[in-house]
Amino acid sequence: MAGVPSAQPVAARHWGTTSPFAEAVKSEIKDSGVTITLLMPGQVDTAFWHRAHMDTSRLGLGEKAAPTKVASEGDEAIRPGRTAWWPA
């Protein structure tokens, strides 16, 4: 998560846990016709930050992706059956 140094270890730990899990499930169901795509959009500009009283926190003030962009790119990411996606 660029620009948020304190979030980098959390993001790395989260990626280190979720991606292998998604890969394992994908491997287990490979012959079923079902695909697994793990979407990890990072911070998204939604009302969450205000409702969680975090809009003035370091993360709340950080750069966030537009919800429409996340939805559009996430939709495209699941079409080819990728295992993991996060915005550039």
pLDDT in tens, 19-39: 788 888 888 988 998 887 888
Residue 1: pLDDT band (50, 70, 90) is very low
CA distance 38 to 84: 4
Q: Report CA Rg, the chain.
A: 15
Does residue 86 surpass a pLDDT of 50? yes
Chain segment 39-77, per-residue pLDDT in tens: 888 899 999 999 999 999 998 999 999 999 999 888 888
Given this model, what pLDDT does residue 48 score? 93
pLDDT given at position 2: 47
Query: How far apart are alpha carbons 14 and 57 in whole angstroms?
Result: 21
Rounded (to 5) percent helix, strand, coil in the chain = 50, 5, 45
Burial environment of residue 60 by CB neighbours within 10 A (0 to 12, 13 to 18, 19 or more): middle
